[in-house]
Homo-oligomer: A and B are copies of this chain.
C-alpha cells in the first residue's frame, strides 16, 4: 500500500513538539499515558489501511448522487467506515466516560482523524461532523436531548450535520430566513430550506440530526435573532419509535472533488409537519454554532494539510522510482538517466510541499492542543489559551487550504503528464482540496475575521499572546547556534507584521473600516507565512536538540536533519513573500473599492 501519511511525523508533533503528555496532568485526561495514545494512533492507522484508503479512488469514481425521492445513493463501504470508526470511538472519543466516551484530548482525536483525512478525505467528514453536532447537544442541550440523541450518534447509526447556509444568504448568516414557530407542546414548527448541507442525506445511517439555525417568530433581525434547533429527519416518538419529521432531501450538488461526500439541499416542513427542538436559549444560536464552527475550521485546515500530505507522499514515491534526464553538466547521452528526485527543481517542488504540509499540520496540532487546554481550564487560567486559539483558528483554516492548493498542484507537476491522468491519485487530491478554502467560511471571510476581529479583540490581547509565544520560540531557538540566524529572521518578520498592522490600524482609527479591511486577505497571507515559520522553528528546536545530543532513540538522524533542512527551506523560499505582502498592504490608494465596475469589463 502507498504511504499516505507519516506516522513518524505525527508522533513527532504529538509527543515531541506539542507535548500531548503534558495534558495528562489534568484530571480529565489523567487516565492516559503515552503508550496508550501511541496504540490508539496505530489502531486508527490499521482501520484506515483496511477500510478507508483502499476505497479512496473507487468512492470518488462512483461518487454520491441523488437518486430521486429524497434518496442519496452512497457507496456501500461508507457504512462499514462509519460503523468501524464509531466502534473504535472515533466519534465519541472526546466525550466524558459517563456518556460512553474515552475522555480523549482533541489532539488525539484529531491525530486519528488526520490519518482518516489523508486516507480518504471524502468520508472522514461524515464521522467528524457527527462528533461536532453531538458536542453542541452535549454542551448546550438538555440532559434529555443528550440522552435521546447522543447514543445513536456515537454508534454511527445517526448522522449529525450543521445546517446554516440558505439559498439567498450564502456566507451571510444575517440573512437567514428559516422560521421556527413555538407550539404549546415545547417543540417548534420549522419551515425553510438549507443548501450545501454536508452529509445531509445518504444510505449509511438510519437517521439524520440537523443542528439548524432558524429564526423564532418575532425574533430581532440580523444575527441577534438566530436560534439553534435540533431537527431530526425522523423524530423520536413517545413510544420509543421514530416517525418522519418532514425533512426532505430535494437534491444534491455534484462537485469538482470530495465526490464521495454528499452535499445536499434540504427542505424543512414542506408539509407543515417538521418539528425542531430549541437548543439552549432563544436567539443565541449563532454563538453556540460558532463553537462547532471554530472546531470545524480547525478541522478543515487540518484536512487540507492531510490531503496535501497524501499528495506529497505520492509524488515523493514517484520521484524516487522514476528515472529521467541527466544533471545539467552531463552532456553524454550514453550515461543512464537519473531518478528525477536528483533534479534540483524536483527537490524544490518536494521541499515546498513538505514545508507547507508539515508546517500546516503542526499548526493544526497547536490549535488542537489549545482547544484541549481551553477545555480543561477555567477563568484566568483559560484565557491565554482561548485568546491564542481565537487568533490562530482563521490562520490554520486559510493557510492550509490556500497553500494546500499550491502543494497539491506541485504534486501533480512532479509527475509531469502522468500527474494529469486519472491513473494517479494526484489529480483527485488536487480536486478534493480545492473546497477547503470555501468550507466553513471562505478565505475572504476568514481574513476579515483575522484582521477585523481577532487582531483587535480585547485591545490586542490575542495578538499579544501570539507575540509572546513566538517570542518564546525565538528565545529558545537563539540558544542554538545553528538556529540563531532563523530566530533573528523570524523576529524581523514579526516586527514587520507588527509595523504593518500599526500602519493599517490608522485607517481603522480614522473610522475607515472599509479601507482597513480591504486587503485583509493579503494580511492573512502575510500572517500565514510568519506563523508557519514559527511552527517550523518550533520543530527545528526539537530536531536540533536531538541532533546535538545524537539522541536517535525515537527518530532517525535523517528524520531530524529533514526537519532542520525543511525549516531552512521554508525560511528561504516561502518567508520572503511576507515582505512583499507588507509592501502591498502599505501602498497608497484604494484600488479595490471601485464604485463603477465597468472598469472590470
Contact of A593 with B347 in the complex, beta carbons under 8 Å? yes
CB proximity of A267 to chain B, nearest CB, Å: 18
Task: Provide the bound-state CA to CA distance between A408 and B547, in Å.
Answer: 44
* Residues from chain B with Cβ under 8 Å of A417 in the complex: 165, 170, 195-196, 253, 438
Q: Do A584 and B573 touch across chains, with their CB atoms under 8 A apart?
A: yes
Measured CB to CB, the closest approach of chain B to A215, in angstroms, equals 11
A576/B580 in contact, CB under 8 A: yes
Q: Is B596 in contact with A558, judged by CB distance below 8 angstroms? A: yes
Question: Which residues does chain B contribute within 8 Å of A257, judged by CB atoms?
Answer: 420
Residues of chain B within 8 A (CB-CB) of A347 are 591-594, 597, 600
Q: Which residue of B lies closest to A447 (CB)?
A: B345
A556 nearest CB neighbor, chain B only: B598
Report the separation of the CA atoms of residues A577 and B325 in the bound assembly, to the nearest whole angstrom. Answer: 31
Name the one of B253, B256, B589 contacting A431, with C-beta atoms under 8 angstroms: B256
| Tally of this chain's copies | 2
In the complex, the answer to whether A416 meets B171 with C-beta atoms within 8 Å is: yes
Chain B nearest CB, measured from A516 CB (Å): 8
Q: Are B599 and A423 in contact (CB under 8 A)?
A: no
- The reply to whether B561 and A354 contact each other, CB–CB distance below 8 Å, is no
Q: Which of A411-457 contact B (CB under 8 A)?
A: 412-413, 416-417, 419-423, 427, 430-431, 434-435, 437-438, 442-444, 447-448, 452
In the complex, chain B residues whose CB is within 8 Å of the CB of A591: 347, 351, 565, 568-569, 572-573
What CA separation (Å) do A592 and B329 show in the bound complex? 16
Is A172 at the interface (CB under 8 A from chain B)? yes
Taking a contact as CB atoms closer than 8 A, the residue among B254, B569, B599 that contacts A421 in the complex is B254
- The answer to whether A256 and B343 touch across the interface, beta carbons within 8 angstroms, is no
A326-349 interface code vs B (CB 8 A; 1 in, 0 out) = 111100111001000101111110
Q: Given A324-B172, A521-B348, answer yes or no on A409-B434 (Cβ-Cβ < 8 Å).
A: yes
- Which of B559, B568, B599 contacts A565 (CB under 8 A)? B599
CA distance A509 to B222 in the complex (A): 67
Q: Which of B430, B444, B600 contacts A343 (CB 8 A)?
A: B444
Q: Which residue of B lies closest to A347 (CB)?
A: B592
Residue from B255, B327, B351, B444 within 8 A of A600 (CB atoms): B351
Minimum CB–CB distance from A411 to chain B (whole Å) comes to 12
A572 proximity list for chain B (CB < 8 A)? 584, 587, 589, 591
Q: Does A30 contact B (CB under 8 A)?
A: no
A570-586 interface (Cβ within 8 A of B):
572-573, 576-577, 579-580, 583-584
Smallest CB separation, A270 vs chain B (Å): 22
A468 to chain B, nearest CB (A): 28
**Contact across chains for B444 and A337 when beta carbons are under 8 A apart:** no
Classify chain A: how many residues form its interface, as a range. 35 or more
Task: Indicate which residue in B6, B322, B413, B593 contacts A344 across the interface (CB closer than 8 Å).
Answer: B593
Q: Please, how many angstroms separate the alpha-carbon atoms of A413 and B439 in the complex? A: 11
Q: Please report the C-alpha to C-alpha distance between residue A516 and residue B170 in the assembled complex, in whole angstroms.
A: 50
Q: Is the CB of B438 within 8 A of A419?
A: yes
- Are A337 and B175 in contact, with the CB atoms below 8 A? yes
Q: Are A328 and B514 neighbours in the complex by a CB distance under 8 Å?
A: yes
- Give the residue of B326, B333, B562, B601 whose beta carbon is less than 8 angstroms from that of A562: B601
**Choice from B416, B434, B580, B597 contacting A579 with Cβ under 8 Å:** B580
B344 and A517 form a contact (CB under 8 A): yes
Which A residues are within 8 Å of any B CB, using their own CB? 6, 8, 165, 169-172, 174-175, 195-196, 221-223, 253-257, 263, 316, 320, 322, 324-329, 332-334, 337, 341, 343-348, 350-351, 354, 405, 409, 412-413, 416-417, 419-423, 427, 430-431, 434-435, 437-438, 442-444, 447-448, 452, 513-514, 516-522, 556, 558-559, 561-562, 565-566, 568-569, 572-573, 576-577, 579-580, 583-584, 587, 589-594, 596-601
Q: What are some 27 contacts across the A-B interface (CB < 8 A)? A: A6-B601, A165-B417, A170-B325, A172-B324, A172-B326, A174-B333, A175-B324, A221-B334, A223-B333, A253-B423, A254-B421, A256-B431, A328-B452, A328-B513, A328-B514, A328-B516, A329-B514, A344-B517, A344-B592, A345-B444, A350-B600, A416-B442, A417-B438, A562-B599, A565-B591, A566-B599, A573-B584
In the complex, besides A263-B421, A328-B452, A348-B519, 11 extra interface pairs with C-beta distance below 8 angstroms are: A170-B322, A171-B416, A172-B326, A254-B421, A255-B427, A328-B514, A344-B514, A345-B520, A565-B591, A565-B599, A579-B580
